[in-house]
Amino acid sequence: MKNTIKKLLGGETKEGLQTKQDKLQQRVQELQTNLSHVQSALTNAEAHFLVDESASNKRVVEKLKAGMIGFQADIASIQEEISTIQEKLTAIATEERTQYIHQLAHEDAQSNKRFLKEGALARYLQQHDLTSTHSSGGYNQLERYLGITVTGNPNTDVTMHDFPEELQIQKGAQNTASAEVDEEFAELVKHIEKFLEKGVN
Range with the poorest average pLDDT among 69-73, 129-133, 145-149: 129-133
Comparing C-alpha atoms, which of 85, 68, 65, 64 is closest to residue 31? 68
Contact 136, 72 (CB under 8 A): no
Q: Which neighbouring-strand residues pair with 158?
A: 149
Which domain, by its residues, includes 99? 2-110
Structure confidence at residue 133 (pLDDT): 46
Quick one: pLDDT band at residue 132, thresholds 50, 70, 90? very low
Overall average pLDDT of the 156-172 stretch: 87
Phi-psi region of 138 (alpha: psi -120 to 50; beta: other; left: phi over 0): left
Let me know whether 11 and 84 are in one domain: yes
Q: Provide CB contacts within 8 A for 45, sequence distance 6+.
A: 57, 60, 61, 64
Best mean pLDDT range from 62-71, 130-139, 149-158: 62-71
pLDDT tens per residue, range 23-45: 999 999 999 999 999 999 999 99
pLDDT at 155 > cutoff 60? yes
Structure confidence at residue 170 (pLDDT): 87
Quick one: pLDDT band at residue 135, thresholds 50, 70, 90? very low
Structure confidence at residue 124 (pLDDT): 77
Let me know whether 40 and 96 are in one domain: yes
Q: Which of 110, 132, 154 finishes a domain? A: 110
Structure confidence at residue 134 (pLDDT): 45
| Burial 126-144, CB ≥16 within 10 A → b, else e | eeeeeeeeeeeeeebebbe
Q: How many domains does the chain have?
A: 2
Let me know whether 89 and 140 are in one domain: no
Comparing 135 with 146, the larger pLDDT belongs to 146
Structure confidence at residue 129 (pLDDT): 59
Let me know whether 176 and 126 are in one domain: yes
Let me know whether 93 and 165 are in one domain: no
Let me know whether 82 and 118 are in one domain: no
pLDDT tens per residue, range 49-108: 898 889 998 999 999 999 999 999 999 999 999 999 998 888 888 888 988 999 999 888
Let me know whether 96 and 133 are in one domain: no
Overall average pLDDT of the 132-148 stretch: 70
Let me know whether 14 and 62 are in one domain: yes
